[in-house]
Amino acid sequence: MQANLPHLQSIFTADCVIFGFEEGELKVLLIERNEYPFKGWWGLPGFFVEHNETIDDAVERILYEHTGLRDIYMEQLYTFGDLQRHPQGRVITVAYYAMLRLEGLTSLKPGTDYVRQAVWHPLNKLPDLAFDHHNIIEKSISKIRKKISYSPIAFELLPEKFTLTQLQQLYEAIWDKKLDKRNFRKKMLNYNILKELDEKQRGVAFRAAKFYRFDKRKYAKVFGNELNFS
């Protein structure tokens, strides 16, 4: 594709799909590539896995180098190994995903020349992407939809303190579907994994909403075991 392609450093890489939620919208973290192939394109943070590091370590390192984000718990999504996914030959990539609270994470500083900038993009208006990254993002979304059905990963995407409306909007964004306010609240509160705080919203031009916090201990009790059949 381009003259001065770098040598392949290994035949497998790790990619990160980082989701964030802000203003009722799901976003994904993309980087602008500063290196061939796909120089100048947007893509997922991702790079070669070194020979002496585990994949888990690699993906953490790569995310940090590309975006400055640290200590993000990522889960493995899928491994992609199509023959044409990389223009320089078959490169297998292990994709990981994570969900983040988007408060205060607006300015991201890449720590490598391979990346020009890292920017949150709304999921419903993504640019063209390098490699098969569109495909990887698709797969992540469908995994998240399933997962949120039986485990409240949603909390990862919200600030520490959140209102029930924010929580509901998040579910609505992930499922792309309106939910009933009263039923949603009833169900959520019945799980008993939310802790009501004394605090309220401030400076809003309408009745202020109560803040809630997610109770990790209770969560483990409720969702630690499998779904029930009988």
State the residues that interact with DNA by CB under 7 A: 163-165, 180-183, 185-187, 190, 200, 202-210, 228-230
Q: Kindly tell me which of 140 and 163 has the beta carbon lying closer to DNA.
A: 163
Check binding of 82 to a copy of itself (CB under 8 A): yes
Q: Kindly tell me which of 58 and 167 has the beta carbon lying closer to DNA.
A: 167
- Among positions 140-159, residues that touch a copy of itself (CB under 8 A) are 145-146, 149-150
Q: Kindly tell me which of 70 and 202 has the beta carbon lying closer to DNA.
A: 202
Which range in 5-13, 22-30, 101-109, 128-136 contacts a copy of itself by CB under 8 A? 5-13
Q: Kindly tell me which of 9 and 149 has the beta carbon lying closer to DNA.
A: 149
- Could you tell me the sign of the dihedral formed by the alpha carbons of 181, 184, 189, 190, in that order? positive
Check binding of 222 to a copy of itself (CB under 8 A): no
Closest CA to 43 of 24, 62, 21, 70: 62
Cis peptide before 110, with omega less than 30 degrees from 0? Answer: no
Check binding of 48 to a copy of itself (CB under 8 A): no
Check binding of 223 to a copy of itself (CB under 8 A): no
- Which residues, other chains included, contact 38 with Cβ-Cβ below 8 Å and sequence gap of 6+? 130, 131
User: CB of 193 within 8 A of CB of 154?
Assistant: no
SS (H, E, C) 94-137: EEEEEEEECCCCCCCCCCCCCEEEEEEEECCCCCCECCCHHHHH
Check binding of 11 to a copy of itself (CB under 8 A): yes
161 token code pair: 């303190």
Which residue in this structure is represented by tokens 């953490």?
A: 60
How far CA 69 is from CA of 24, 116, 135, 225, in Å, comes to 22, 15, 23, 31
Binding residues (CB under 8 A) for a copy of itself: these are 10-12, 49, 51-56, 76, 78-79, 81-83, 89-90, 92, 94, 145-146, 149-150, 171, 175, 177, 179-180, 183-184, 187, 226-227, 229-230
